[in-house]
Amino acid sequence: MNPWERYVVPNLVSCACSTKPIMKQRAKVVPKAEGVVLELGCGSGTNFAMYDGAKVDHLYALEPSPGMVVKARRTASELGIGKSIDFLETGAEAIPLANNSVDTAVITFVLCTIPDWKSALAETKRVLKPGGKILFTEHGLAPDEGVAKWQRRVEPVWKALAGGCHLTRDTQAMLREAGFEPEGAETMYLPGTPKIAGFVSWGAARLA
d(CA 170, CA 139): 8
What is the fold, at CATH topology level, of the domain defined by 3-202?
Answer: Rossmann fold (3.40.50)
Please state, as a whole number, how many other Cβ atoms lie within 10 Å of the Cβ of residue 147: 18
The one-letter amino acid at 1: M
Please state, as a whole number, how many other Cβ atoms lie within 10 Å of the Cβ of residue 24: 12
Answer whether 138's CB lies under 8 Å from 108's CB: yes
DSSP per-residue codes, 25-45? HHHHHGGG--EEEEEE--TTT
pLDDT in tens, the chain (208 residues): 555 565 555 555 555 566 789 999 999 999 999 999 999 999 999 999 999 999 999 999 999 988 889 999 999 999 999 888 999 999 999 999 999 999 999 999 999 999 999 999 999 999 999 999 999 999 999 999 999 999 999 999 998 888 789 999 999 999 999 999 999 999 999 998 999 999 999 999 999 8
